[in-house]
Amino acid sequence: MDRSALEELETLFVFTPSPGDTWRLTIARLKQQLLKTDPEAFIRMEDPHDRNPSGNSFMFFEFTLDGGGIEAMSRLAPEGVAAQNCTARQAAGFVRWLRAGVVPPGHAITFNTEWGLESEIPDATVPIAENSQLIDFFLAHVVETGGLA
């Protein structure tokens, strides 16, 4: 598969704190950052008692980032944020956004994709890097999953 086709592939990207760490993620802080980035952001909370047997609240949101739409969800336990139907380029922008106001300075971000989880590839730490390097990092992961038809 050539690079341009690879760059168009979309999957679920899951971002979490390193094992044993916490971002001290709160719904209030996440909402604040979403509305700061996109005052028209769509935000919906799912009550832990409605169709959610785990007892954890989920926050679903959609916002515009770098000129494109991002659909995502977050939960506090286990702590993390997932971007749905996301390309490597969008994932890189999403990571920059997380680092700018959601993840406390000095805390790592780990990630995996739906394909990586299905292929039992372990979570990886997202490097602090330029956007183009992050895109290459995410594309290498997509190739590693072996799920390319």
What's the pLDDT score for residue 149?
45
The total number of structural domains that make up the chain:
1
What's the pLDDT score for residue 67?
85
pTM to 2 decimal places: 0.90
Q: Is residue 122 packed enough to be buried (19+ CB in 10 Å), middle (13-18) or exposed (0-12)?
A: exposed
pLDDT tens column, 105-144: 999 999 999 999 998 999 999 999 999 999 999 999 999 8
pLDDT tens column, 37-87: 999 999 998 765 555 455 567 899 999 998 899 999 999 888 999 999 999
pLDDT band, very low/low/confident/very high, at 4 (cuts 50, 70, 90): confident
Domain that holds residue 121: 3-145
How far is the CA of 128 from the CAs of 11, 49, 87, 136, in angstroms?
A: 22, 38, 19, 13
CA distance 78 to 74: 9
- Smallest CA-to-CA distance from 116 within 140, 148, 141, 84 is with 141
